[in-house]
Amino acid sequence: MTMNDAPATRPENPNFSSGPCAKRPGWTLDALRDAPLGRSHRAKVGKAKLKEAIDLTRDVLEVPADYRIGIVPASDTGAVEMVLWSMLGARPVDLLAWESFGEGWVTDVVKQLKLADARVLTAPYGELPDLKAVDFSRDVVFTWNGTTSGVMVPDAEWIPADRAGLTICDATSAAFAQKLDFAKLDVVTFSWQKVLGGEAAHGMLILSPRAVERLETYKPAWPLPKIFRLTKGGKLIEGIFQGETINTPSMLCVEDYLDALHWSKRIGGLAALQERSNRNFEAIAQWVHVTPWVDFLATDPVTRSNTSVCLKVVDPQVLALPADAQAAFAKAIASGLEKGGIAYDIGSYRDAPAGLRIWCGATIERADVEALTHWLDWAYGVARGSLSEAA
């Protein structure tokens, strides 16, 4: 096959979006047949479904028994916002940012909460901040996996067990695919629509005993809207962590999340989910290794995400183009594959450097990733040919 010959094999599932992500293999609408539609989420059946979602989350994600798990509004963003506004201000805080979502939490803390004792540690796209510079006498806010940069923290060894502050971790594209060390994490948030391919609008909030203590002993200086309130009368609202949600959840989405959790258990639980993500990433890594026109955005191999895999075009002729032309070249690759129904939504995030972003989480099949790499070469060849003709 030459660069201009279309590959013979197409991905069976062209959904490579980094959120909402592909549904589990074999998913159909029939998976939602038991959803208690038209019933109150406060009825016995609704509360039972929500409690089951919490219990299965603990089981599959292997959350310690003394950690609380709650379903909260507004996806992962809502979960993080609840924590920032409810917990920060008790002590100084270190904020880590190396991509757009981490930068968003910096904006909230520095410009909205206006905490004077906030310290920001940043790194450009493709790199991590200096983790050795983090001060754990302070609270620490960070993303485990940078969804828009493809850069993750490699482990939790940089976090001390005897820290004084709380560690607040946005793990939305890491949970279920990467090893989260809960002993080193006081707050963990994620959303259903990432590694398990669930539907949007619901967030998960996981609290350590230390985080609960903070909530029960600290009162912020600012007012909290109802949607952020986790305590009443100085005590944790335990109902939130038993399925009594703050606002009305979609029972259709809850049923879909339950289906994904049950699928996770059927295939072998957390270890199997992580292995599927790792194998998908390996397929991309093997292709990148032998492909001269592309490279990872993440500069250090140990920090490369196995879920939101971000790539950059390194063809010298493309790099010699103005920035807007480089962005147009990468967009041509992504849009060409989308028009052909080969791969949807693989362009880089709007705030990230120009390139490609391919979701390799657990609901993706390795065979589809392997098929996609051949089509990427083909789409690059088409775009390169157009570039040569224009020159």
Which residue stretches of 138-293 are H helix?
Answer: 209-217, 251-267, 269-289
Q: Distance between CA 346 and CA 337 in Å, rounded? A: 9
- Per-residue pLDDT, averaged over 321-345, amounts to 97
**What local confidence, expressed as pLDDT, does residue 60 receive?**
98
- Per-residue pLDDT, averaged over 18-28, amounts to 97
Quickly tell me which residue has 């707050």 as its tokens: 187
**What local confidence, expressed as pLDDT, does residue 5 receive?**
87
Query: Do 269-390 and 29-264 fall under one CATH topology?
Result: no
- Per-residue pLDDT, averaged over 274-286, amounts to 98
Vertex 299 angle, CA 295 and 302, to 5°:
110
- The pTM (predicted TM-score) of the whole model is 0.97
CATH of domain 29-264: 3.40.640.10
pLDDT (tens digit, 9 = 90+) per residue, 138-163? 999 999 999 999 999 999 999 999 99
375, pLDDT greater than 60: yes
Cβ within 8 Å of residue 113, ≥6 positions away: 84, 85, 88, 89, 222
Positive or negative, the CA dihedral 272, 67, 148, 192 is positive
Q: Distance between CA 109 and CA 286 in Å, rounded? A: 40
391, pLDDT greater than 70: no
Q: Tell me the HSE value of 285 on the side-chain side, using a 13 A CA sphere.
A: 17
Q: Is 234 left (phi over 0), alpha (psi -120 to 50) or beta?
A: left
Which residue stretches of 88-227 are H helix?
Answer: 100-107, 209-217
Task: Residue 136: name the closest of 155, 163, 118 by CA.
Answer: 163
pLDDT (tens digit, 9 = 90+) per residue, 183-201? 999 999 999 999 999 999 9
- Per-residue pLDDT, averaged over 203-209, amounts to 98
Buried b (16+ CB within 10 A) or exposed e, 52-82: bbbebbbebbebeeebbbbbbbbbbbbbbbb
Enumerate the domain spans of the chain. Answer: 29-264, 269-390
CB 391 within 8 A of CB 349: no
Task: Residue 261: name the closest of 79, 93, 69 by CA.
Answer: 69
Both tokens assigned to 27 = 């998913």
- Per-residue pLDDT, averaged over 20-32, amounts to 98
- Per-residue pLDDT, averaged over 378-386, amounts to 95
Q: Give the percent of the chain with pLDDT over 70.
A: 98
Both tokens assigned to 91 = 């002590």
Amino acid, single-letter form, for residue 74: A
Mean of pLDDT over the chain: 97
CB 94 within 8 A of CB 121: yes
- Per-residue pLDDT, averaged over 248-252, amounts to 96
Query: Is it true that the peptide bond before 20 is cis, omega within 30 degrees of 0?
Result: yes
Level-2 CATH architecture, domain 269-390 = Alpha-Beta Complex (3.90)
**What local confidence, expressed as pLDDT, does residue 386 receive?**
87
**What local confidence, expressed as pLDDT, does residue 155 receive?**
98
**Residues across the chain:** 391
pLDDT (tens digit, 9 = 90+) per residue, 75-117? 999 999 999 999 999 999 999 999 999 999 999 999 999 999 9
**What local confidence, expressed as pLDDT, does residue 260 receive?**
98
**What local confidence, expressed as pLDDT, does residue 1 receive?**
41
2, pLDDT greater than 80: no
